[in-house]
Structure 1
Amino acid sequence: MGEQLPVVSLFSGAGGLDLAVERADAEPLVGADPGSGLLRVSVATDYNEPALATLKANFDSTATLTGDIRTTPTEQILATAGLRPEEPVLVVGGPPCTPFSKSGFWLEQKRESRDPNASLLDEYVRVVRESRPEAFVLENVQGLTYKTHKAQFERLLKGLGELGYNPQWKVLLAADYGVPQLRRRVFVVGRRDGKKFEFPEPTHSGWSERDRTIDTTKIPHVTAAQAFADLPRLVRASTEEIVDGQYGELAAEVPPGQNYLWHTERYGGRNHFEWRSRYWTFLLRLDPNRPSTTLQAQPGPWVGPFHWENVKTANGDQRVRRLRVNEMLRLMSFPDDFKIDGTRADVQRQLGNAVPLELGKAVVRALMDQLGYLSPSHTAREVIFA
């Protein structure tokens, strides 16, 4: 292995995009190929120490820097990595998406795009301006592109454009790149030389909530059942996995792929809820024959997706169960041996905020191809879970 190319990671979280960076030249096989080590995350930054603890457990050679990016000088970030301006090949990162997420629209300040955390986009621009990487990759929730946040998004693009990076953006569906999850993320990518970045073509195809057209020349979307196929089957569920309480019985009666709407007058359930009175994810269950819906970072007690199979309580009652850690790793296309400490809720919070590995790999690999560090010889192959 030759000299590794240095990368600066901002808002690193549990390290989803960092993992994609370090495995960018790996074949598109989930957990099976770590790549040759072309890129190395030299420094990872975040204000959340538990997330950086996860990153440290999985990235032995990465220096970490804990703190608020708004009070962390770029010079300190580079010094922690042992780098000077223009030496990073990439700056990557996803500023916290809460200000732009649909799940926060119940707050007036978020609907009106007045969340103070939105300024973190400006901090990303600041680090790019002062570190001058060869290229950058920024990702965020699709909501950043909505009209509600037009001013912030345009300011971001303008700021990066004024630096000469010619930023290009696109909303990508993770399932189109081999991830067993219907998760949409926006990526903004730019090059210091000003050349236009071309986003990678999808390798997989299948129907989603917006597109019922299937490209039969591509690999079918990976389903949840395929993702879980070789995982161990546990007879008993832990207490924290069981969905019980007020809606426990109703949830257990919802068929795979359905949600609370099953219990309205239009479907075959109990006619307990009004039509469209809840979020789509309320009592939502996985369809084993389709990719999962988006894995939520901080779901309420009745928010899915839940597993399609029921489990029995100590009293013999049928109940829905929440997804297990190994299942969530599969839905994010993370390797099975990825280490995350904490409770099941801690794991879901970190994974739900992360970039799915195969989606991140596709973008970073395309960028490295176009920068001339890789030959464009990576072809789509059936995703193998190992």
Structure 2
Amino acid sequence: MGEQLPVVSLFSGAGGLDLAVERADAEPLAATDTGSGLLRVRVATDYNDLALQTLTANFQSARTVTGDIRQVTTDEILATAGLAPTEPVLVVGGPPCTPFSKSGFWLEQKRESRDPNASLLDEYVRVVRDTRPQAFILENVQGLTYKTHHAQFERLLRGLGGLGYNPQWKVLLAADYGVPQLRRRVFVVGRRDGEKFEFPEPTHSGWSEHSHAVDTTKTPHITAAQAFAGLPRLAAVTDEDIVDGTYGQLAAEIPPGQNYLWHTERYGGRNHFAWRSRYWTFLLRLDPDRPSTTLQAQPGPWVGPFHWENVVTASGEERARRLRVNEMLRLMSFPDDFKIKGTRADVQRQLGNAVPLELGKAVVRALMSQLGYLHPAIAA
């Protein structure tokens, strides 16, 4: 192994993008293949101490800085990493996506893009300006590109462009890169030398809610059933697993791949809900023959996706069940031995906010190839 190239990670969370950095040239979905170790996260930052506990449990060599990035100086970040300006090869990170997520649109300030956390994009620009890495990767929810947030997104691009990085952006579908999840994320990538970054071509294809066109020359999307293959069967069902209460019986009656709309006048269930009266994820069940929908970071008690199989409660009733941690890891294309700190709700919040590993790897591989650090065959 040669000299490891240093990376500064901002808004690190549980470390999805950090994992992609350190395993950039590992074989797809090969849990024991950690890659050549070309890149190494030297410092990771986040305001959430629990997330950084998860990160340090999986990245023993990474140093961390806990705190509000608006109060953390670039000098502190560089000093913790043991680096000087221009020494980081990459700055990576995904500013908290809540201000730009569709799930927040019920709040007027989010619809009008007045969320104060949107200023965290400016902090990302500040750190890139002060550290002068060879390149950067910024990741966020697709909502950042919506017209509602046009001013913030354009300010981000102008700020990075003004530094000479020629930022390029694109919304990528995780399933198109071997992730068993129909999650769309925007990536913004720029190079210090001003050369244009070319995004990686998809390796997989299948139909989604936006397009039913399928490229038969590519590998089919990985389904939820394929993702769960080899996982141990349920040893015991806990109360935490069971979808019960007000809508417990209704959820249990919904077929795989359907949601609350099953129980409207237009489908075969009970006529219980008005048509399109809830979010799509309400009482949503996984379809074993398709990739999962987006894993929600902060789901309510009736927000899926739930597993397609029912379980039997102690009283003998059939109920839908929530996804278990090992299943959520598979849907994020994370290794099975990835350790996550906190309660089950903490785990889902950390994974729901993370970058799916194989999607992150595809972007990092492409960038490192174009910078000349990886052979193109490895990046393909």
TM-score scaled to structure 2, two decimals? 0.99
8 Å Cα contact 2:13-2:350 kept in structure 1:
yes
Find the aligned partners of 1:235 and 1:5 in 2 and give their Cα distance.
Answer: 43
Counterpart of 1:267 in structure 2 is 267
Secondary structure, in 3 states, of the residue corresponding to 2:53?
helix
1:197 aligns with 2:197: yes
Secondary structure, in 3 states, of the residue corresponding to 2:347?
helix
1:89 aligns with 2:89: yes
8 Å Cα contact 1:100-1:141 kept in structure 2:
yes
The letter of the residue matching 1:232 is P
The letter of the residue matching 1:178 is G
1:121 aligns with 2:128: no
Counterpart of 1:176 in structure 2 is 176
The letter of the residue matching 1:65 is V
The letter of the residue matching 1:308 is W
The letter of the residue matching 1:125 is V
Q: CA deviation at 1:33?
A: 1.3
Counterpart of 1:383 in structure 2 is none
Find the aligned partners of 1:60 and 1:266 in 2 and give their Cα distance.
Answer: 54
Pairs within 5 Å for 1:132-281: 132-281=132-281
Secondary structure, in 3 states, of the residue corresponding to 2:303?
coil
Secondary structure, in 3 states, of the residue corresponding to 1:95?
coil
8 Å Cα contact 2:295-2:352 kept in structure 1:
yes
Secondary structure, in 3 states, of the residue corresponding to 2:376?
coil
8 Å Cα contact 2:228-2:327 kept in structure 1:
yes
Counterpart of 2:25 in structure 1 is 25
The letter of the residue matching 2:14 is A
Find the aligned partners of 2:345 and 2:367 in 1 and give their Cα distance.
Answer: 34
Find the aligned partners of 2:34 and 2:224 in 1 and give their Cα distance.
Answer: 23
Secondary structure, in 3 states, of the residue corresponding to 1:137?
strand
Q: CA deviation at 1:235?
A: 4.5
Find the aligned partners of 1:66 and 1:342 in 2 and give their Cα distance.
Answer: 17
The letter of the residue matching 2:290 is R
Find the aligned partners of 1:118 and 1:342 in 2 and give their Cα distance.
Answer: 27
Find the aligned partners of 1:294 and 1:248 in 2 and give their Cα distance.
Answer: 22
8 Å Cα contact 2:330-2:336 kept in structure 1:
yes
Find the aligned partners of 1:251 and 1:83 in 2 and give their Cα distance.
Answer: 53
Structure 2: give runs of 5+ residues left out of the alignment. Answer: none
8 Å Cα contact 1:30-1:334 kept in structure 2:
no
Counterpart of 2:14 in structure 1 is 14
Counterpart of 2:293 in structure 1 is 293
Structure 1: give runs of 5+ residues left out of the alignment. Answer: 381-386
Deviation string for 1:203-259 (max 9, x for gaps)? 000000011000000000000000001000014311111000000000000000000
8 Å Cα contact 2:51-2:341 kept in structure 1:
no
The letter of the residue matching 1:23 is R
Deviation string for 1:28-58 (max 9, x for gaps)? 2342311010000000000000000000000
Find the aligned partners of 1:214 and 1:238 in 2 and give their Cα distance.
Answer: 40
Find the aligned partners of 2:184 and 2:370 in 1 and give their Cα distance.
Answer: 24
Find the aligned partners of 1:229 and 1:335 in 2 and give their Cα distance.
Answer: 14
- How many residues align? The count is 380
Find the aligned partners of 1:277 and 1:95 in 2 and give their Cα distance.
Answer: 31
- Would you identify which runs of 4 or more consecutive aligned residues in structure 1 move more than 3 Å? none
Counterpart of 2:346 in structure 1 is 346
Q: CA deviation at 1:5?
A: 0.1
Counterpart of 1:374 in structure 2 is 374
Secondary structure, in 3 states, of the residue corresponding to 1:182?
coil
The letter of the residue matching 2:92 is V
8 Å Cα contact 1:30-1:358 kept in structure 2:
no
Counterpart of 2:317 in structure 1 is 317
Secondary structure, in 3 states, of the residue corresponding to 2:377?
coil
Find the aligned partners of 1:327 and 1:226 in 2 and give their Cα distance.
Answer: 11
Deviates more, 1:31-40 or 1:130-139: 31-40
The letter of the residue matching 1:61 is S
Q: CA RMSD in A?
A: 0.7
Percent of matched pairs sharing the same residue: 85
